[in-house]
Amino acid sequence: MAMLTTCVVVLFGLSLGVGPAEVNWRDSFAALVDDSYGPLTLVMREIRLPRALLAAVIGAGLGLAGAALQGYLRNPLAEPGLIGVSAAAALGAVVALNTGLAAAMLFGLPLAALAGALVAVFLVLLLAGPQGGSLTLILAGIAISAMASALTSLVLNLSPNPFAASEIVFWMMGSLADRSLVHLAIALPFVGGGAVILLRLGRGLDALTLGEDAAQTMGINLSRLRLLLVLGTASIVGGATAVAGAIGFIGLVVPHILRPFVGGQPSRLLWASALGGAVMLQLADLAVRLILPDRDLKLGVVTALVGAPLFLHLIYKTRRGQV
Amino acid sequence: MSATSPSEQPAHTPPAENLSIQNLSVSLRGRDVFRDVSFDIQPGEFVGLLGPNGAGKTTLMRAALGLIAAKGNSSLAALTAADRAHAVAWMPQAREIAWPIAVERLVALGRLPHLPQGARLTPQDQAKVDQAIDQMGLQPMRHRAASRLSGGEQARVLIARALAQDTPLLMADEPAAGLDPAHQIATMEIFARLAQEGRSAFVSLHDLGLAARHCTRLILMGDHGVLADGPPDTVLTPDLMAQAFGISVWHQQTAQGPVFQPLEVL
Amino acid sequence: MRGGILIALTWLWTMSTVMADPVRVVSMNLCTDQLAMMLAKPGQLVSVSYIARDPDASAMADVAQGYPINHGLAEEIYLLQPDLVVTGTFSAPATTAMLRRLGVPVAVFDPATSLQDVAARLLQMGAALNRRDAAEELVAEFEQQLAAFDQVNAAGANTGDASGRTGTDADAGRPRAALYDANTYTSGPQTLAGQILEAAGFANIASELGYTGPARLPLEQLVMAKPDMLVANTPHDSPARSEENLTHPVLRHLSTPQTTGQIRQADWVCGTPHVLRAIDRLAVERRHFTKRDRAQ
């Protein structure tokens, strides 16, 4: 835990120091607190700070959401991106943008994304059942993702704005490029609120390790747990996707890597995955800036390159009952 | 072995019986599983629940716990989830261990109902956990991942978990299934000792021999209800065994206690 | 079937005879639409692309109302029975290939990347439509006006060489502007927009940063370059994530006298004489800026 926290802090610093405007480190950080650096102060405060903060906040949220979903479904393949929740949130966001809802009210964009995510989580839990069998879970995810992506494309194609049609990549792959403090202000209440909800579910998720009957007789109110899980996950994914697009695989990779370090216990995995998620997204965002600085490489590309092979590995292990 | 005196039990536990069921009926998909089942379980009783496959043993236990909808009354089903967790510990038949949690941590989950949100185990909690681990002979494997143990070992871990919950009533669905003979007997003896200490155990069983030797009382299910309810001698009769299971039996009191052996299918 | 072949043969025959003087011309590209509308004889141009009527993109949206529109699909173009199709290099190459396979002559126009290209495209269209005289007339008019601008703007910008491309000497004293577009794109000196900017008497920030063509200009670099003025596109009414960079709060903080500068419109899109209007409007902004700058 201490190590993860250190990583988050170090990466946050690195993230502030890296950008296309090549400035030395001392000046960069001085400009952050000192107004006298002119445009550099603007760059640091208005461009790099929101980006670094968003990477930490959204990464933490997605890691946490993955750990909570896995704990509830008792399935290591559960992840907001893979089960279609992120795609549905993106659909909500795109609809809000194109109907003017996002412009009409302050939190219209994240609320619409939250609504999309809510529908998807609810559908997945309905389709996959409480036990969350791998096959139904993945099939439900494929169906919901396909539907949401198709509708997102449709909305973007119908938009009279000529640029809209080309941005399906952003909504499906996610990016933190040129996000502002406004975006942080939009996302933070939702990701933070969802995180508060999910972090309090540890006890119930621990009990669920032994199955639903056992959990219920250990004093866990399962319908309340399910409701809170759905709300918390949707809130995080909604807030994150509204400003950064759908970033997949963080909720899959991070809990999987950290599970052995917390002795497999779902409650301890929640906190660890939040920190780990922040680390992973910060790393991914550094990677897109360092590897191809002059292309707008999408975050989802990096996370998928890491996550998809692991996903395949997990499917293989699940088939052999070794998870 | 620390006997739990009644004064240590939670105040809201019903004083007279640990489980009281009146006119309980469950129907699934329009078919009655059982109708109008009534019985009480008193402190000090080790009750075995017998019956052929499909007689509704699991359904009865889950309905008594309030885990499925039922008509009639059950004292446990009337409690809130939190209160129920202090009144009964339940070991379901499906031995689910979702994550590779160390045995001692898994057993410690039994203390969950006794801890406030986010609190750590107190030394008293830890003592209960250690005691449960000792009772089920899990000391050699306490640091191993429970999900990677053999089926029988997992069953013992889950029984230990239920013991650690430290409730007046312990209910278990087929706890002896899949255990080797030594652990079957040891498990039955632990339940019997709980009963001697003034608590109760309510356990479904398929091994009639174990039921004959260890239980203080048997409930036999069949024909959508209770066929017989009483001390083992009055339930394990040739007539009732023929009616319920369609088998002939050999049942004798011996110097080593009662011996019961099913013989052949009638 | 035999009818089809017959029609095709008839067509081939008509085409070979009328190629020199096409009578049914269809345009599939916004820029060829405008060139053709300027140069075609009455009745010669039978259809323009639907975008030609979009006032956000087309400098001749009003004129385009008078023409039937097409959507650039091979089928509908073919059924219009054109004896010449004019289109851009990069618009729907599959359609172009299909039309050629069906025996329809297609004249392809490269996008204009400089002010010189405007004259070249006018002459090319004049040749394609057999309207060379009209084209030469327009070219002469265009070059005369452009020269007039160069003189005025060169004087206003205190520099002797208004057409000077990137040299810092030539740019000295000129206000520094950044072209800023959706998806954080900017335009260097070897683009039509870059040359419009220079013709209006501005120095292009993209040149300072070493960009020549269209390029992605990270928001950070834009801020660090401290442009005197930001020449951005007007965002469309319906929002798109691609245009959010145009409204990023950091742009409000840029200490430019006026950063609105969202004056790029249809006049900037195509290499037609309409770029003169763009230069004119931009030059007005530049004179405002210089006046304020001197007043301070």
What is the structure's pLDDT at C283?
87
In tens, the pLDDT along A300-311 reads 889 988 888 888
Q: Among all residues of chain A, which has the CA nearest to that of C209?
A: A21
Using a CB–CB cutoff of 8 Å, tell me whether A66 touches chain B: no
Q: Who contacts C157 (Cβ-Cβ below 8 Å, separation ≥6)?
A: C173, C174, C175, C201, C202, C286, C290
Q: Are residues C90 and C185 in the same domain?
A: no
Q: CB pairs below 8 Å between A and B: how many?
A: 84
Of A1-10, A26-35, C8-17, C26-35, minimum mean pLDDT range: C8-17
- pLDDT for C168 equals 46
Number of neighbouring beta carbons within 10 Å of residue C195 = 26
Mean pLDDT of all residues belonging to chain B:
90
Closest CA to A153 of A142, A168, A163, A133: A168
With cut-offs at 50, 70 and 90, classify the pLDDT of residue C264. Answer: low
Average pLDDT over residues A257-285: 93
Q: How many domains does chain C have?
A: 2
User: Does residue B237 lie in a domain region?
Assistant: yes
Q: Cβ contact (<8 Å) for B96 and A214?
A: yes
Range of weakest confidence among A303-312, B75-84, B245-254, C1-10: C1-10
Whether residue B106 has pLDDT greater than 50: yes
What string of H, E and C letters represents the secondary structure of A41-107? Answer: HHHHHHHHHHHHHHHHHHHHHHHHHHHHHHHHHCCCCCCCCCCCHHHHHHHHHHHHHHHCHHHHCCC
pLDDT of res. B14: 47
**pLDDT value for B146:** 93
Reply yes or no on whether the pLDDT at B86 is more than 80. Answer: yes
Inside any domain, residue C126 = no
Is pLDDT of C64 > 60?
Answer: yes
- Contacting residues of A for B118, CB less than 8 Å apart: 202-203
Helices A299-319 & A250-258, crossing angle to 10 degrees? 60
Chains that touch A (3 or more CB pairs under 8 A): B, C
Contact criterion met (CB < 8 Å) for A163 and C219 = no
Residue A75 lies in a domain: yes
Instruction: Tell whether C129 is covered by a domain.
Output: no
**Residues of chain A above pLDDT 70, percent:** 97
Q: Which of C220, C240, C250 sits opposite A19 (nearest CB)?
A: C220
Mutate to test the interface with B, among A213, A226, A314 (most CBs of B within 10 A): A213
Instruction: Please check whether residue A224 lies inside any domain of the structure.
Output: yes
User: Considering only alpha carbons, which residue of chain A is nearest residue C223?
Assistant: A39
- CB nearest B102 (choices: A214, A217, A263): A263
Q: Which residues, other chains included, contact B11 with Cβ-Cβ below 8 Å and sequence gap of 6+?
A: none
In Å, how far from its chain's centre is CA B186?
14
CATH number of the domain that residue A141 is part of? 1.10.3470.10
Q: B15 falls in which pLDDT band (50, 70, 90)?
A: low
Chain A residue whose CA is closest to C235: A161
In chain B, whose CA is at the least distance from the CA of A132?
B98
> What does the pLDDT read at residue C170?
52
Relative to beta strand B71-74, strand C106-109 is unpaired
Mean of pLDDT values over C56-73: 91
- Predicted confidence (pLDDT) at residue B8 exceeds the cutoff of 60: no
Given C81, C111, C141, which residue is the final one in a domain? C111
Q: How many domains does chain A have?
A: 1
In A, which residues are within 8 Å of C253 by CB distance?
42, 46
Q: Which residues of A touch C30 (CB under 8 A)?
A: none
DSSP 8-state symbol, C233: B
Q: What is the mean pLDDT of residues A285-303?
A: 85
Q: What's residue A164's pLDDT? A: 77
Q: Residue C1 — very low, low, confident or very high, per pLDDT cuts 50/70/90? A: very low
pLDDT tens string C183-193: 888 899 999 99
- The residue segments making up the domain with residue B192 are 14-96+167-265
| Chain A positions in Cβ-Cβ contact with residue C182 (cut-off 8 Å) | 163
When CB atoms are compared, the residue of B88, B96, B102 closest to A210 is B96
Amino acid type, A321: G
pLDDT (0 to 100) of residue C204: 92
Q: Are C118 and C195 within 8 A, CB to CB?
A: no
Q: What is the pLDDT of residue A237?
A: 95
Highest mean pLDDT among B4-8, B189-193, C254-258, C289-293: B189-193
Q: Which residues of C touch A42 (CB under 8 A)?
A: 223, 250, 253-254
Closest residue of A to B115, CA-based? A203
ipTM of predicted assembly, 2 dp:
0.86
**Candidates A217, A265, A266; nearest CB to B89:** A217
Cβ count near B119 (within 10 Å): 11
Task: State which amino acid sits at residue A128.
Answer: A
Question: Has residue A43 been placed in a domain?
Answer: no
Q: In sequence order, what DSSP letters do the residues of chain B get, joined into one string?
A: -----GGGS-TTS-SS-SEEEEEEEEEETTEEEEEEEEEEE-TT-EEEEE--TTSSHHHHHHHHHTSS--EEEETTTTS-HHHHHHHEEEE-SS----S--BHHHHHHGGGGGGS-TTPPPPHHHHHHHHHHHHHTT-GGGTTSBGGGS-HHHHHHHHHHHHHHT--SEEEEESTTTT--HHHHHHHHHHHHHHHHTT-EEEEE-S-HHHHHHH-SEEEEEETTEEEEEESHHHHS-HHHHHHHH-EEEEEEEETTEEEEEEEEE-
Measured over the CA atoms of residue C225, residue C230, residue C234 and residue C235, the dihedral's sign is positive
pLDDT at residue C48 is higher than 70: yes
pLDDT digits (tens, 9 = 90+) for B167-215: 999 999 999 988 999 999 999 999 999 999 999 999 999 999 999 999 9
Closest-CA residue of chain A to C184: A178
Q: With an 8 Å Cβ cutoff, are C249 and A46 in contact?
A: yes
Mean pLDDT of A20-33: 78
For residues A66-78, give the mean pLDDT. Answer: 91
The whole domain housing C176 covers: 164-295
Asked if the structure places residue B245 within a domain, the reply is yes
- For the stretch C125-180, pLDDT in tens is 999 999 999 999 999 999 999 998 888 766 555 443 434 444 444 556 788 888 88
Taking CB atoms and an 8 Å limit, are C221 and A182 in contact across chains?
no
Chain B residue at shortest CA distance from A268: B118
Kindly state the average pLDDT of the residues A49-59: 94
* Chain B interface test: which of A74, A200, A217, A259 (most B C-beta within 10 Å): A217
Quote the minimal CA–CA distance from B67 to chain A in Å. 7
CA distance A227 to chain B (A): 16
pLDDT band for position A189 (cuts 50, 70, 90): very high
DSSP H/E element including A23: none
Alpha carbon of C185 to those of A266, A300, B191, C98: distances in Å?
A: 46, 22, 76, 32
CA A211 to each of CA B44, B91, B95: distance values in angstroms, whole numbers, following the listed order:
29, 10, 8
Q: Do A220 and B81 touch (CB under 8 A)?
A: yes
Residue C127 belongs to some domain of the structure: no
B68 touches A: beta carbon within 8 Å? no
Say if B226 is an interface residue toward chain A (CB within 8 Å): no
Task: Please give the single-letter amino acid code of residue B100.
Answer: P
Among the residue ranges A176-180, A276-280, C152-156, the one predicted with the least confidence is C152-156
Task: State the pLDDT at residue C256.
Answer: 56
CATH number of the domain that residue C266 is part of: 3.40.50.1980
The secondary structure element, H or E, covering residue C178 is strand C176-180
Residues of C in contact with A170 (CB under 8 A): 241-242
Q: Are B206 and B179 in contact (CB under 8 A)?
A: no
Q: Which of B71, B2, B7, B21 is nearest to B226 (CA)?
A: B21
| Neighbour tally for C183: CB within 10 Å | 19
The per-residue pLDDT for C55 is 86
For residue A165, pLDDT over 80 is answered with no
A292: closest CA of chain B, how far (Å): 39
Query: What pLDDT, on a 0 to 100 scale, did the predictor assign at position C219?
Result: 86
The answer to whether residue A223 sits within a structural domain is yes
Give the one of B92, B98, B101 whose C-beta lies nearest to A213's C-beta.
B92
Of B82, B90, B99, the CB nearest to A213: B90
Nearest to C264 by CA among C206, C203, C190, C177: C177
Q: Are A82 and A311 in contact (CB under 8 A)?
A: yes
Of C184, C236, C248, the CB nearest to A180: C248
- What is the tally of structural domains in chain B? 1
Q: Can chain B be said to touch chain C, i.e. do they have 3 or more Cβ pairs within 8 angstroms?
A: no
Q: Phi/psi at C88 (nearest 5 deg)? A: -90, 160
Is the model's pLDDT at C267 over the cut of 70?
Answer: yes
Q: In the predicted model, what is the mean pLDDT of residues A201-210?
A: 93
Inter-chain touch A21–C240, beta carbons under 8 Å: no
Which of B233, B258, B228, B230 is closest to B243 using CA atoms?
B228
What residue has token string 């579910």?
A201
* Residues of chain A positioned with their CB less than 8 A from the CB of B147: 264
A interface mutation test: which of C208, C226, C244 has the most A CBs within 10 A? C244
Q: What is the mean pLDDT of residues C83-110?
A: 89
Q: Is A196 on the interface with B (CB under 8 A)?
A: no
pLDDT tens for residues C3-39? 555 555 555 444 444 456 899 999 999 999 999 999 9
CB within 8 Å: A161 and C243: yes
The residue behind tokens 């498990």 is B187
CB proximity B102 to A under 8 Å: yes
Q: What is the mean pLDDT of residues B36-59?
A: 94
C236 vs A38, A161, A170: nearest CB: A161
Q: Rounded mean pLDDT of C209-225?
A: 87
Nearest to A47 among C225, C236, C250 (CB): C250
CB contact under 8 A, B158 and A210: yes
| C107 phi-psi bin (left φ>0, alpha ψ -120 to 50, beta other) | beta
For residue B140, being part of any structural domain is answered with: no
Judge whether A213 is closer than 8 Å to chain B, CB to CB.
yes
The SS3 call for residue C25 is strand
Q: Domain span at residue A253?
A: 57-319
Q: In B, which residues are within 8 Å of A270 by CB distance?
A: none
Q: Pick from A42, A159, A296: which is nearest to C240 by CB?
A: A159
Q: What is the reported pLDDT for C194?
A: 92
Is B251 in contact with B61 (CB distance < 8 Å)? Answer: no
Confidence of residue B140 (pLDDT cuts 50, 70, 90): very high
Residue A241's nearest CA partner among A59, A90, A99 is A90
Give the pair of three-digit tokens for residue A317: 């292990």
Are the C-beta atoms of residues C201 and C153 closer than 8 Å to each other?
Answer: yes
